[in-house]
Structure 1
């Protein structure tokens, strides 16, 4: 090749380009020199909605995931798509390079929170539990539970999602919106309350809301799954005879009590459609979140002619077909409490 000014420039650029390329590769892809040291096994970073890349990098440095912010800023200028990091909580567990850390946060699903929703909670208690563990707050969750568009979408004729929040263990996206959190729970409810259970309800002449309402009363009456079909049979028998349900949990609900308390005679006079001592039939809607066992108990009740029950004082209930037999059971309960 002739020794011309052009060839000398190309030779110089080629010689300089190889070291430059090696440095760039090391700068972008070499793990550990600017990221989480071996002595720190993991770090948890929270990214808020609308948070800037500079703010995110500041958190990474504050949590000792990176030593310097500028190398990652340079990386985002070379790869602009890496600036887009979804809001959420991220647990960073391995040593990364500048590039791989940003790519991991850009593509990796946010952390999930595993939460167990126990049966028998009211929707305010469910929202409080979720709000204490997720990025969303309980007030926003309660508001979404009463959102008419969400209710219409899921064919609920009630004024809220009370009774539709199926108890169980869920994996929620930590930064999920209230609507996304509720959609997760409603999806599981629809998976459980399938066509076979809907057909059973239709055969018994019960609407979905009526099934959930009665199941919520059963849930509030007893924690014993083996007893629930018998409890359900009592209420179904009373409904068939046109008798008032006279269910204490509905009075507790009408009084606004979050935890059960002793019912006094004056409590039975409360003017509320949920007071089943004053009004015949079912209350307007569920009083808590019934579990699967309670819903099945309503659809597959025990065969009985019982019309009354009272607590034994030892965790279960005494059942009776007549009022006189019921009064004897009440006396037994009182003796057990002494």
Structure 2
């Protein structure tokens, strides 16, 4: 009679395999096994575009979300789709299982950020606003705004998106790309620029680019909506008479760097944007105008004004003749002199 094999020897490999499987299942699926001790505050990590899976796991470890790295790396190897973690900011609270944590990171919608783009801001300043709120570098934003392929896809004739980034308050995904933000803002302008406005522009003899260019000058001249149709009338009257626009904001735009007070020598700067030297409109918009400035160009006030100057009190004084304009300039200088003597505005 042949000797019988010991039952333990026969079942030992199965027991070992079952034990290993139990450990793996516990590590991967049971909440809290690979988690650090619960914290009072949730952990927060940011996943930037282009970061690899190992780097994300490292961030989770550094933030105190996980105790060991290898269970997540093993789970990612077992289920490759879980490697695909969207860029974004993640707030992680409670004890997750390994698969639960990866699934949360894989499937969670991107968080949104509310961003306000003011009227009349140049695109380089918009780039800084976007960079301060979203995971976008301002240099990359400017590069995208000048990308010929993107400009062609958006139907923009100019050399950049200046003028087409429609001001407003919007929600953006924190991990948006420069192209996505630029496309969204341009489409907001397209949505505003209705067929009826297009017809008005056509009747005024302005194409889209010319309209935005003139509207951007109006925007840069005054923040007062009630003044904008009058400002627009001045520039349209000058264009009809073949007079140079002589708009200070266009000279300001031609000067590199941050805005500063203009000097007389600046008016001679050699730039196609210098409307003191060159007749007609500049090559393109000098900022991104809001709805009121665009409508002001399409529905200007009916005036004979050809000149205007600041009053020193927030508005402008308008004139039809050079002599009248000279008197307004004298009044402005007197007002400025008085302000300098009494900066507080009260009784000395």
TM-score by length of 1: 0.86
Q: Equivalent residue for 1:46?
A: 46
- 1:130 and 1:198 map into 2 onto residues whose CA distance is 29
- 1:19 and 1:257 map into 2 onto residues whose CA distance is 68
Q: 1:113 to 1:237 in 2, by over 3 A?
A: same
Q: CA deviation at 1:190?
A: 1.6
Q: CA deviation at 1:19?
A: 9.0
Q: How does 1:167-206 map to 2 (within 5 A)?
A: 167-206=167-206
* 1:90 lines up with 2:93 in the alignment: no
Q: Equivalent residue for 1:275?
A: 274
* 1:80 lines up with 2:73 in the alignment: no
CA contact (8 A) 1:82 1:102 kept: yes
- 2:266 and 2:308 map into 1 onto residues whose CA distance is 20
Q: CA deviation at 1:108?
A: 1.7
TM-score by length of 2: 0.84
Q: Equivalent residue for 2:342?
A: none
Q: Equivalent residue for 1:125?
A: 125
Q: CA deviation at 1:298?
A: 1.2
Q: Equivalent residue for 1:325?
A: 324
> 35-44 or 307-316: which moved more?
35-44
Q: Number of residue pairs matched? A: 333
- 1:196 and 1:93 map into 2 onto residues whose CA distance is 52
Partner SS state of residue 225, structure 1: coil
Which residues of structure 2 form unaligned runs of 5+?
Answer: 338-348
Q: Equivalent residue for 1:286?
A: 285
* 1:161 lines up with 2:182 in the alignment: no
CA contact (8 A) 2:123 2:142 kept: yes
Please provide the CA RMSD for this pair: 3.0
Q: 1:50 to 1:274 in 2, by over 3 A?
A: closer
Q: CA deviation at 1:38?
A: 4.5
- 1:9 and 1:205 map into 2 onto residues whose CA distance is 95
Partner SS state of residue 287, structure 2: coil
Q: Equivalent residue for 1:233?
A: 233
Q: 1:226 to 1:10 in 2, by over 3 A?
A: farther
CA contact (8 A) 2:26 2:33 kept: no
Q: 1:106 to 1:166 in 2, by over 3 A?
A: same
